[in-house]
């Protein structure tokens, strides 16, 4: 990776530089995503043809807290410089899903200084001016949907520099399975970046990862599939174990005192108990009675979604571009072979491959008879990877020749981004508008074009699933299977009655599949009771579930919700920008929200300079005040027991104490299945039992 290590500890020259068949379909798709990825890890960047640098990562400590439906991730790093010259360090890491980078701190003269958000070009100019003067400075910038890049200057000669980054993200629970990913492995999809940079992904002295889970509902199991043997997992007992105690607390630790490589994601799963109810939770924040309140609503519905049993037409759209070479293409071929080999004769399949052009590999749909399957299997092994990524051409070919009389699904498997032919969001959205076909996107790794792939799946009524190299793949298979096998809730809408709520985001919920949650942020004025209504259609029939919730005059427990609301609003605006172009009012609104709520966005960056220079540059200490408020709340929450924010179980609700969903359980796997639970043999037994039940 362009780095060298000396035998003497610390003498390092490292990087720096400026139906049942449907279930089998899903299983095969996910299996073929998982092996042989060639990628860059998170780490310090160094130009490929640049001079050797003596800056290295001495320590990398990660602290994660999962509580009340969102996660806080803190990365505390120390960079060291062995040389006689002051140097710059550029640390890059993949953008976590739905994350708001909210803190960048630099230790200047032994004191922590919290960064402030400015318009992107101004922030870069301030950084360069300060660096030219030899002053301590740091900047965090966003590279579209790919990476957060943190530049620090100077890492002084024969000295160390300490930096801290914090980001927040909402976490969804899928079929009673919570999943948190600390992303480190890049997808290897940015050709310009790979051509210019090498990456020093090594932490040379101390790597530590600590996670605390606080759940208001009982947790059955926790797991780190790729790090299970090294992880120390502890269930924390409450000092006051009484009947009124709710939920569970777990601590997880990974510790490598001799360092480690930042090349593999850390994936943490937790499975809730089987009897956890379907529910509505509302988490509020309001600093004072005269201020605007913010809230997050998490709806975990239970509805009568019927199993799909008729034969299905499946079109596989497979990325065979250059980034799929080696183990990935071999695994893809093996996975498709397994899928086709397990299909029912009533199903049909078609394979489209794409790199710089698209090709109908099977020459149209083929009925999955034993003879046709064997004939196709003998040809699949010839698939080779190479070339660019004509994503649009692959999808366009997939949508030709559809049979209106049959249930149809399109499965897109990719680890990359479109770089040949039409590449704009609007091009893809216009293509999908012509067809009423569900698109399921399976995206492996980090730094792929998630905004586009998520939007395509959502608009088509399908779903997107991100796959990490550290995932428990069998569990992800079951999660996807349970969605595709059943009807879904469509035209989903969350409404609030009472004229107190405003600025809901996202505005349109789209569809919900079996086990999925709906997470919506909003603001409110006034106080008191408000009616919450979930509306949806199932097979065209309108359904509705209601409950009441209280909007408090003040509640200061969760100030981070303001940032999460702003980030969700920004994401919606960015969807419009990617579809329609950089309209000036839209860019201004993203910039305003980024500055007001101190978020690193496509148009804002976070800058750290000394307190004196902050004053000279007339930079308001807006984020410093916000960080102080958030840290105070976090300190208070640490000393408190787990709090439940469930609002649908009270006497004023139409269903009374049974809750909005009549006391039904939250849809889950049961029996310890899914990403958390027994190994493959037990999983196979579970699947076999399920098949017998549905015969």
Among residues 105, 99, 116, the alpha carbon closest in space to that of 598 is found at: 116
| CA gap 226, 213 in Å, rounded | 18
pLDDT digits (tens, 9 = 90+) for 492-517: 999 999 889 999 999 888 889 888 99
The pLDDT of residue 375 is 86
Query: With 70 as the cut, is the pLDDT of residue 305 above it?
Result: yes
Angle at 535 (CA atoms; ends 533, 537), nearest 5 degrees: 165
Tell me whether residue 2 is exposed, middle or buried, using C-beta atoms within 10 angstroms of its C-beta: 0 to 12, 13 to 18, 19 or more: middle
Task: Tell me the whole-structure pTM to 2 decimals.
Answer: 0.87
What residues form DSSP beta bridges with 282? 297
Terminal Cα-to-Cα distance of the chain (whole angstroms): 53
The pLDDT of residue 34 is 46
Continuous H helices in 197-326: none
Q: For 663, list phi and psi in degrees, rounded to 5.
A: 80, 10
The pLDDT of residue 3 is 34
Question: With bands split at pLDDT 50, 70 and 90, how would you rate the model's confidence at 242?
Answer: very low
The pLDDT of residue 191 is 59
pLDDT digits (tens, 9 = 90+) for 186-203: 655 555 665 667 888 999
Question: With bands split at pLDDT 50, 70 and 90, how would you rate the model's confidence at 403?
Answer: confident
Among 32-46, 81-95, 630-644, which stretch is predicted with the lowest mean pLDDT?
A: 32-46
Joined tokens for residue 190: 């940015």
3-class DSSP assignment, residue 76: strand
Residue 226: HSE in the Cβ half-sphere, 13 Å Cα cutoff? 16
Rounded to 10 deg, the angle between the 680-693 and 473-484 helix axes is: 10
Residue 20: HSE in the Cβ half-sphere, 13 Å Cα cutoff? 15
| CA gap 445, 185 in Å, rounded | 7
3-class DSSP assignment, residue 569: helix
Rg (CA), the chain: 25
The most distant pair of C-alpha atoms in the chain lies apart, rounded to whole Å, by: 77
Q: Strands 202-215 and 260-261, how do they pair?
A: antiparallel
pLDDT digits (tens, 9 = 90+) for 210-238: 999 999 999 999 999 889 889 999 999 75
Query: With 50 as the cut, is the pLDDT of residue 681 above it?
Result: no
Joined tokens for residue 566: 């702003």
Spatial strand order of the sheet with 197-200 comes to: 116-119, 604-608, 137-143, 147-155, 87-94, 43-47, 197-200
Residue that the structure tokens 């994601």 belong to: 265
Question: With bands split at pLDDT 50, 70 and 90, how would you rate the model's confidence at 460?
Answer: confident
Joined tokens for residue 441: 């996107």
Among residues 257, 273, 254, 274, the alpha carbon closest in space to that of 265 is found at: 254
Joined tokens for residue 480: 């996807």
Cα 14 to chain center, whole Å? Answer: 30
Among 105-109, 207-211, 393-397, which stretch is predicted with the lowest mean pLDDT?
A: 393-397
Pick from 256-270, 395-409, 676-690 the range whose average pLDDT is largest: 256-270
Query: With 80 as the cut, is the pLDDT of residue 534 above it?
Result: yes
Query: With 70 as the cut, is the pLDDT of residue 662 above it?
Result: yes
Share the mean pLDDT of the chain: 83
Task: Give the residue-averaged pLDDT of 573-593.
Answer: 94
SS3 readout for 14-30: ECCCCCHHHHHHHHHHH
Peptide bond before 188: cis, by omega within 30 degrees of 0?
no
The pLDDT of residue 689 is 37
Q: Do residues 489 and 510 make contact, with C-beta atoms less than 8 angstroms apart?
A: no
CA distances from 8 to 12, 199, 572, 605 (A): 8, 21, 51, 38
pLDDT digits (tens, 9 = 90+) for 44-65: 987 766 566 789 999 999 999 9
How many other CB atoms are found less than 10 A from the CB of residue 47?
Answer: 16
Q: Strands 12-13 and 177-182, how do they pair?
A: unpaired
The pLDDT of residue 650 is 65
For residue 134, give the DSSP letter: T
CA distances from 73 to 140, 201, 209 (A): 16, 19, 10
Among 299-303, 326-330, 370-374, 605-609, which stretch is predicted with the lowest mean pLDDT?
A: 326-330
Task: Give the residue-averaged pLDDT of 113-130.
Answer: 98
Joined tokens for residue 411: 């499965």
Task: Give the residue-averaged pLDDT of 655-662.
Answer: 76
What residues form DSSP beta bridges with 313? 348, 408
How many other CB atoms are found less than 10 A from the CB of residue 528?
Answer: 11
Strands (E), 506-654: 510-512, 518-524, 528-538, 541-551, 604-608
| CA gap 305, 267 in Å, rounded | 30
Residues in the chain: 695
Q: Which domains does the chain have, with CATH numbers?
A: 4-18+40-275+616-638 (2.60.40.1170), 312-485 (3.40.50.410)
Peptide bond before 209: cis, by omega within 30 degrees of 0?
no
SS3 readout for 300-313: ECCCCCCECCCCEE
Query: With 90 as the cut, is the pLDDT of residue 631 above it?
Result: yes
| CA gap 493, 508 in Å, rounded | 7
% pLDDT > 70, the chain: 81
| CA gap 548, 666 in Å, rounded | 19
| CA gap 356, 54 in Å, rounded | 40
Q: Do residues 461 and 433 make contact, with C-beta atoms less than 8 angstroms apart?
A: no
Question: With bands split at pLDDT 50, 70 and 90, how would you rate the model's confidence at 687?
Answer: very low
3-class DSSP assignment, residue 535: strand
Question: With bands split at pLDDT 50, 70 and 90, how would you rate the model's confidence at 35?
Answer: very low
| CA gap 214, 223 in Å, rounded | 15
How many other CB atoms are found less than 10 A from the CB of residue 332?
Answer: 29
3-class DSSP assignment, residue 5: strand
Choose between 511 and 624: higher pLDDT: 624
Cα 83 to chain center, whole Å? Answer: 38
For residue 601, give the DSSP letter: -
Task: Give the residue-averaged pLDDT of 239-250.
Answer: 66
Choose between 243 and 63: higher pLDDT: 63
Question: With bands split at pLDDT 50, 70 and 90, how would you rate the model's confidence at 695?
Answer: very low
Peptide bond before 154: cis, by omega within 30 degrees of 0?
yes
| CA gap 437, 427 in Å, rounded | 17
The pLDDT of residue 682 is 39
For residue 657, give the DSSP letter: G
Cα 60 to chain center, whole Å? Answer: 21
| CA gap 166, 38 in Å, rounded | 28
The pLDDT of residue 438 is 84
Query: With 90 as the cut, is the pLDDT of residue 280 above it?
Result: yes
Q: Do residues 222 and 263 make contact, with C-beta atoms less than 8 angstroms apart?
A: no
% pLDDT > 90, the chain: 51
pLDDT digits (tens, 9 = 90+) for 7-25: 323 333 333 333 454 445 5
| CA gap 275, 288 in Å, rounded | 37
Q: Do residues 463 and 440 make contact, with C-beta atoms less than 8 angstroms apart?
A: yes
Question: With bands split at pLDDT 50, 70 and 90, how would you rate the model's confidence at 462?
Answer: confident
């Amino acid at each position: 990776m362009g780095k060298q290590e000396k035998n003497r500890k610390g003498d390092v020259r490292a990087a720096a530089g400026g139906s049942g068949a449907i279930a089998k379909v899903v299983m095969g798709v996910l299996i073929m995503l998982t092996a042989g990825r060639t990628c860059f890890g998170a780490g310090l960047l160094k130009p490929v043809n640049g001079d050797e640098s003596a800056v290295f990562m001495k320590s990398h400590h990660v602290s994660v807290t999962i509580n009340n439906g969102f996660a806080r991730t803190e990365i505390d790093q120390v960079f060291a410089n062995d040389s006689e010259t002051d140097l710059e360090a550029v640390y890059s890491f993949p953008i976590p899903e739905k994350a708001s980078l909210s803190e960048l701190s630099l230790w200047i003269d032994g004191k922590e200084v919290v960064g402030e958000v400015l318009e992107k070009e101004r922030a870069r100019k301030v950084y360069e001016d300060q660096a030219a003067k030899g002053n301590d400075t740091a900047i965090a910038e966003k590279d579209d949907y790919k990476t957060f890049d943190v530049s620090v200057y100077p890492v002084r000669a024969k000295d160390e520099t300490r930096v801290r980054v914090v980001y927040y993200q909402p976490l969804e629970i899928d079929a009673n399975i919570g999943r948190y990913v600390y992303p480190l492995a890049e997808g290897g999809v940015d050709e310009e970046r790979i051509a210019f940079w090498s990456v020093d992904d090594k932490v040379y002295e101390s790597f530590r990862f600590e996670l605390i889970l606080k759940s208001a509902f009982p947790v059955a199991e926790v797991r780190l599939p790729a790090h299970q043997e090294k992880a120390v997992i502890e269930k924390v007992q409450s000092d006051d174990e009484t009947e009124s105690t709710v939920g569970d607390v777990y601590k997880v630790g990974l510790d490598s005192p001799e360092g480690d490589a930042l090349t593999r994601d850390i994936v943490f799963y937790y499975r809730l108990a089987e009897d956890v109810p379907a529910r509505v939770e509302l988490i509020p924040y309001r600093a004072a009675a005269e201020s605007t309140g913010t809230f997050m609503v998490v709806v975990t519905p239970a509805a009568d979604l019927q199993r799909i049993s008729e034969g299905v037409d499946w079109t596989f759209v497979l990325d065979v571009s250059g980034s799929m070479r080696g183990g990935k293409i071999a695994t893809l071929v093996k996975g498709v072979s397994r899928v086709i080999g397990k299909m029912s004769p009533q199903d049909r399949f078609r394979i489209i491959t794409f790199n710089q052009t698209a090709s109908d590999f099977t020459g149209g749909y083929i009925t999955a008879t034993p003879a046709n399957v064997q004939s196709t299997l003998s040809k699949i092994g010839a698939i080779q990877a190479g070339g660019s990524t004509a994503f649009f051409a692959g999808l366009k070919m997939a949508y030709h020749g559809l049979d209106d009389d049959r249930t149809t699904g399109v499965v897109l498997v990719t680890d990359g981004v479109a770089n040949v032919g039409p590449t704009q969001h609007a091009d893809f959205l216009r293509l999908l508008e012509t067809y009423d076909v569900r698109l399921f996107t399976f995206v492996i790794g980090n730094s792929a074009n998630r905004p586009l792939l998520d939007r395509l799946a959502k608009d088509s009524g399908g779903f997107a699933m991100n796959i990490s190299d550290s995932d428990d793949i069998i569990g992800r298979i079951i999660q996807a299977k349970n969605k595709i096998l059943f009807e879904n809730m469509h035209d989903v809408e969350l409404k609030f009655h009472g004229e107190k709520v405003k600025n809901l985001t996202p505005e349109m919920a789209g569809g919900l599949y079996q086990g999925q949650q709906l997470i919506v942020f909003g603001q409110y004025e006034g106080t008191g009771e408000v009616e919450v209504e979930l509306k949806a259609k199932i097979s065209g029939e309108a359904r509705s579930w209601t409950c009441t919730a209280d909007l408090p005059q003040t509640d200061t427990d969760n100030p981070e919700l303001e940032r999460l609301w702003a980030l969700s609003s920004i994401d919606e605006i960015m969807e419009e920008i990617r579809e329609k172009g950089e309209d000036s009012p839209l860019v201004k609104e993203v910039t305003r929200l980024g500055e007001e709520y101190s978020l690193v966005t496509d148009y804002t960056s976070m800058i750290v300079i000394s307190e004196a220079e902050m004053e000279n540059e007339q930079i308001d200490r807006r984020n410093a005040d916000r960080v102080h408020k958030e840290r105070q709340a976090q300190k208070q929450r640490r000393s408190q027991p787990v709090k439940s924010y469930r609002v649908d179980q009270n006497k004023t609700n139409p269903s009374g104490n049974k809750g909005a969903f009549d006391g039904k359980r939250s849809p889950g796997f049961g029996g310890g299945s899914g990403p958390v639970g027994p190994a493959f043999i037990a999983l196979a037994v579970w699947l076999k039992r399920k098949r017998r039940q549905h015969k």
